[in-house]
Amino acid sequence: MKILVTGGAGFIGSALIRYLMQGTAHHVLNLDKLTYAGNLESLRSVATDTRYEFVQADIADQPSMVALLARFEPDAIMHLAAETHVDRSIDGPAAFIQTNVVGTYSLLEATRAYWQALPVERRDAFRFHHISTDEVYGDLHGADDLFTETTPYAPSSPYSASKAASDHLVRAWHRTYGLPVVLSNCSNNYGPFHFPEKLIPLVILNALAGKPLPVYGDGLQVRDWLYVEDHARALFKVVSEGRVGETYNIGGHNEQKNIDVVRGICALLDERVAERPAGIENFASLITFVKDRPGHDQRYAIDASKIERELGWRPAETFESGLRKTVLWYLNNLDWCRHVQDGSYQGQRLGLDHSQLLA
């Protein structure tokens, strides 16, 4: 297959591309605008593979999408490009509407034109896989409630509302135009190459620098954590074996309170890091409770039984094993972190000249 991955320079997209290059024989075109969240250093291990190609472009630029589809002729599109950070969506929602809603619309329209012109056999086999989040379902209140694929949408933040809107567009393009889509909604991911504005890498790097470890409100918010490489495997299952028009929830069976996640990281750092920042006996002493995020959802948890039953997928990592791998990865890859923190990851871009890439 030729697979077009949007947002492939991001956290999950880069894990997906590493998986596709290392675990399958497929060809991949990575289409990414390279916002602050896009980092080609996360793809260093596959950058020279002849089955891999990168193009810098914006999914909202419909003429470019049309041209790119005509040139690459994909058998499947895996759409991950998005603005993704909830706090940023509260401070500045416009970029979220532009990329997540308008961008998804533009990509759908370019895809529809491309797909309708395909020969019949390729039309039937074609897939548009839209990657979304469990945050579209809003908050869970009962301690035993779980999000299923039929849970009504009730998004709380500008981020989750924009993702919900994009999910509706994708389903409408299936119902109205027959575009062969599959969707997946996933819980919180964690693992290597995660941008350090998100909880787990932020806590690791702040702790190593002896900075406060901010925890929102009482820290009792519950998230269902999934190791990113388990997610990448699940995404490939969905795009290659999922039933057209269906949605698959993906989760890790790993419900954790935020405060326990932070304490777990501190315990691993206590075990692994001999040199403590000055005046620090144990890393947990850096934990600082800060004013809660407005509209903060209390609990998310996924019922992943459909993907397990229909596609035979299960997560391989427990939270304990995945968190240990993640902390070790950050300790062993401080250069990657330094390049993100000092902004140099946005400079050289592995020596590629972007004006050439766009041409």
Residues making contact with ligand NAD (CB under 6 A): 6-7, 9-13, 32-35, 37-38, 58-60, 80-84, 99, 103, 131-133, 163, 186, 188-189, 195
- The structure tokens listed for 111 are 């895809």
Among the listed residues 32, 134, 230, 297, the single catalytic one is: 134
| Residue 82 or 215 having the CB closest to ligand NAD | 82
83 is catalytic: no
Following DSSP, what letter does each residue of 225-248 receive, concatenated? -EEHHHHHHHHHHHHHHPPTT-EE
| Residue 188 or 254 having the CB closest to ligand NAD | 188
Among the listed residues 41, 135, 167, 229, the single catalytic one is: 135
134 is catalytic: yes
- What is the radius of gyration, based on Cα positions, of the chain? 20
Secondary structure (3-state) at 74: coil
Rounded-to-integer distance, Cα 259 and Cα 264, Å:
9
Give least dist CB 27 to ligand NAD, A: 19
- The answer to whether 195 touches 127, Cβ cutoff 8 Å, is no
| Residue 200 or 269 having the CB closest to ligand NAD | 200
**Phi, psi dihedrals of residue 260, rounded to the nearest 5°:** -70, -35
| Residue 42 or 286 having the CB closest to ligand NAD | 42
Sheet holding 2-6, edge to edge: 52-56, 27-32, 2-6, 76-79, 127-133, 181-186, 247-250
Give least dist CB 346 to ligand NAD, A: 10
Q: Which residue is nearest to ligand NAD (CB)?
A: 10
CB neighbours of 315 closer than 8 A, spacing ≥ 6? 226, 227, 230, 234, 252, 253, 254
| Residue 34 or 68 having the CB closest to ligand NAD | 34
In Å, how far are 1, 81, 107, 207 from 61, measured between CA atoms?
Answer: 25, 13, 8, 40
Secondary structure (3-state) at 276: coil
Query: What is the dihedral angle through the alpha carbons of 216, 219, 280, 327, rounded to the nearest 10 degrees?
Result: -100
Could you tell me which residues are beta bridge partners of residue 335? Answer: none
Could you tell me which residues are beta bridge partners of residue 56? Answer: 32
Among the listed residues 52, 105, 114, 159, the single catalytic one is: 159
Give least dist CB 111 to ligand NAD, A: 14
Give least dist CB 177 to ligand NAD, A: 22
159 is catalytic: yes
- The structure tokens listed for 206 are 């702040």
- The structure tokens listed for 32 are 């990414």
| Residue 7 or 138 having the CB closest to ligand NAD | 7
Residues with catalytic annotation?
A: 134-135, 159
